[in-house]
Chain A
Amino acid sequence: MEIKWKIGDELKGNVPPGPLDQKWNKYKDKQKLVAPNNKRNVEIIVIGTGLAGGGAAAALGELGYIVKCFTFHDSPRRAHSIAAQGGINAAKNYQNDGDTIYRLFYDTIKGGDYRSRESNVHRLAEASVDIIDHCVATGVPFARDYGGLLENRSFGGVQVKRTFYARGQTGQQLLLATYQSLNRQIAKGTVTMYNRHEMVDLVKIDGEARGVIVRNLLTGKLERYGAHAVVLATGGYGNLYYLSTNAMNSNASAAWKAVKRGAYMANPCYVQIHPTCIPESGEYQSKLTLMSESLRNDGRVWVPWKEDDVQAIRNKSKQPKDIPEDRRDYFLERMYPAFGNLVPRDVAARAIKKVCDEGRGVNATGRAVFLDFEDAIMRYGKSEAHQQGLSNPDKSTIRSLGEKIVEAKYGNLFEMYEKITGVDPYHTPMMIYPAVHYTMGGLWVDYNVQTNIPGLFAIGECNFSDHGANRLGASALMQGLADGFFVIPYTITNYLADKIKVPKADINHPAFEEAEKSTRERFEKLLSIQGNQSIESLHRKLGKIMWNLAGISRTAENLSKAVEEIRALRKEFWEDVYVPGSMDEYNPELEKANRVADFLELGELLATDAFHRNESCGGHYREEFKTEEGEPLRMDDEFAYIAAWEWPNTNEEPILHKEDLNFEVVKPTTRSYK
């Protein structure tokens, strides 16, 4: 089937002039302000309470705006940011290993395979420094060394140690600090919090975002809220693939409703597949669990060289430790000697898929490789024995000393692995396989993190802005906090400065009427179909299409097949879905149905974007575009642009708006980790 699209107007990123490292400071020098007495009359809606939304609501409340904040969770503390494990980057250079703001900026641009906007990334690197100070001041118990100073670890794709962490629960600690700052504002009355309230439509008046339609999930009632500006901080769309490391309720509907109201979706095909997740165990599988990238600091990835060893492991006649060193292929170390096991995620994921496609996968399904800690345990054990002054310690003493060190570093991850698989990773190497994890694509925003709809802002994972075609580890938390606490308070103020005379939005305006009515009709339609397929089963089908045809590696042929199959499935959904219950009650199945219906459109757009991008870059790997060694081949002459898609609500083809990427400071080169 032929995939078609139209070309629309070009977009401008509204990047301020001046040298890259001065843009943000100059912006702040010149931006418009809102006086404190006027802030008290200006209303802002924030959707989401993750690092981005929670941070924005707290910071905007501190400034004195009237903030209304919404989440579908029962408490702001449950936002999906809570699940981040590994850490957060910042260019503090506390390790004296040569880190600078420029280097963090450069690594992020390179890691993103030269597909992000320089100015945004530089601002992010600048903010990273303030983030750590702010987090420590608000009580984040980061890991510390014996001298009481902050500890760092390293993450994939970089050669310095700049990642701050709180055990394996960094996201939890950052989110709790954010939640606490938010609660302080709730107590002060600057922020009104609406839990278990889901945004189901965006309301525009005279072309500007002026409010939202929200469903009170407990009563099922539709409610209207108005404001001078709306901020979406609603996370990523990884659950489009059904199985992902995202929380069960993460979804793309808030962003997609904005798209249906005219916002552009940028680079939806840039999806991050994380190399180290616990492999699937059966059809009933509801989600996949990440094993943090930090494990690749110490774990070595391997599969056997020989077919008979592979078979012996699969049928359990041999244990991994029975395979001698020379019959093991530490393939990341072999293929990428400079970065070894710490190559970026997209590179590692493809390499893992490759050895499994060669038939060397080590579990029953053939879709797993080993992540082995034996060397690290022995290395740490020896060093610890030396420090303790033990002479000639035996192997088991060394081993148990080493296990303790590994436990201190990764204890909770090892525990989680054992809980899920029933296997003790201190003694048997972990089995891991790639899974969908993060979405670099998202709502298109300019330098102000404003979408193409005036007054509609998008921050955190739900925008597209900072990670190009691939995100480096520990950079999403950084972006969430930067956008929420340190960027939007300035840029939204610049926008609102012109709105202080504008009266509060009238929720009886016809635009609110229309939005509420169309939402109600959609829910009624979903409930009236009364077909034979559960929402879960349809979602699972969609996930299979996406994973098989638009996953780790893609071809034009498969992508057009994907579009065809998604359309057919969408039709099936609207004819045969079964949604139990009614609208005016707590009805989680209805919530899911609404979200899956949106995924069924976003999936088509993702495949279209992937089809149109005739190159390989970052997480987007097209088999037709590779070097002789099989490495991804970028086509800078043709594709050095951001693809922002307009989705017409009729059956016409989507419209592609391009924003050219201008590299003023960094010269795009072939990303090499060899």
Chain B
Amino acid sequence: MKLTLKIWRQNGANDKGHFKSYDVVANEEMSFLEMLDVLNEELINRKEEPVVFDHDCREGICGACSMVINGKPHGPLRKTTTCQLHMRHFKDGDTIHVEPYRAKAFPVIKDLMVDRTAFDRVIQTGGYISVNTGGAQDANNIPIAQSIAEKSMDAAACIGCGACVAACPNGAAMLFVSAKLNHLNLLPQGEVEKLERTHKMIDRMEKEGFGACSNIGACEVECPKDIQLINIARMNRWYFSSAFAGDQ
């Protein structure tokens, strides 16, 4: 299949950046990133600069890959990361626009690669359970209802890719933050620090320049791991109960 790619090229955060057009021949079995590999190999052979993008596992789990394809973070297929998107979902002759995530809290580093360390800093403020190594009680001492463990796991499946932020017109990180809060707050082990954790992480999120939530729901639609809006609802409940508790 013959494709025309319009790829965003930007040399560093201070460069203005522009779309550049490339022709590439792909086949249907390739993944989207393998198609970009083919392009890069050609660029290298022509001694031009290859396109920079983040990637690693290519199995949809590390959360590294991150581009916006035809206006959608991770491309057209729902519940699918860019690395798991295969070319059989495109047609011969298609023109495909590829650009980086655009969000205030994720500055562009180069081409399609952005800086997502704001996520790490949010986790650092409370996205953990405060126990040291050694001395934990037997793992089966606290039974956890299967339905609770499953809900926690649903939220814990977040890969930290940032597509939710890129999808949101406000650049909000509500889905990501709520996913971590639900993962930990729902478990009895995470219960102790629940309200404090919620407060601290939301504060940090705001300081990092993520926007406010206006209930659009684009995050849920674009999330490759099917993290659901219900997580945001629960987060808000914890947030307001801690705000009203007065002693936070």
Contacts and interface: CB of A to CB of B under 8 A. Distances in A.
Interface of A: 58-59, 62, 73-78, 80, 82-83, 92, 94, 130, 132-139, 141-150, 166-167, 169, 171-173, 176, 179-181, 183-184, 186-187, 193, 195, 218, 247-249, 281-282, 284-287, 289-290, 416, 419-420, 422, 485-486, 489, 534, 536-537, 578, 580-581, 586, 588-589
Interface residues of B, number: 71
B124 A83 contact: no
B239 interface: no
B157 interface: yes
A489 B135 CA distance: 14
Interface of B: 27, 29-31, 33-34, 37-38, 41, 44-45, 47, 49-50, 52, 54-64, 80, 84, 86, 88, 109-110, 115-117, 119-120, 123-125, 127-134, 136-140, 142-146, 149-150, 152-153, 156-157, 159-160, 183-184, 187, 189-190
Contacts of A422: 86, 88
A83 B57 contact: yes
Nearest to B152: A141
Given A148-B144, A247-B56, A580-B49, A143 B116 contact: no
A581 B33 CA distance: 21
Contact of A580 (B27, B47, B60, B64): B47
A134 B123 contact: no
A138 B123 CA distance: 14
A183 B133 contact: no
Nearest to B35: A284
A561 to B, nearest CB: 28
Contacts of A138: 128-129, 131, 189
A78 B49 contact: no
B153 A589 contact: no
Nearest to B155: A141
Contacts, number: 199
Contacts of B64: 73-74, 78
Nearest to A248: B56
Contacts of A284: 27, 30, 34, 37-38
A166 B146 CA distance: 12
Contact of A136 (B44, B80, B125, B139): B139
Given A74-B117, A169-B61, A589-B44, A184 B128 contact: yes
B41 A588 contact: no
Contact of A176 (B38, B49, B50, B156): B156
A82 B61 contact: yes
A139 B140 contact: no
Given A137-B137, A138-B129, A183-B120, A73 B44 contact: no
Given A94-B140, A248-B58, A144 B44 contact: no
A1 B189 CA distance: 62
A180 B47 contact: no
Given A136-B136, A148-B144, A485-B133, A287 B58 contact: yes
Given A133-B138, A534-B41, A578-B44, A139 B183 contact: yes
A146 B86 contact: no
A3 B124 CA distance: 52
The 6 A-B residue pairs with the shortest CB-CB distance, nearest first, are A148-B143, A180-B128, A137-B136, A133-B136, A136-B139, A141-B153
Given A75-B120, A195-B117, A137 B129 contact: yes
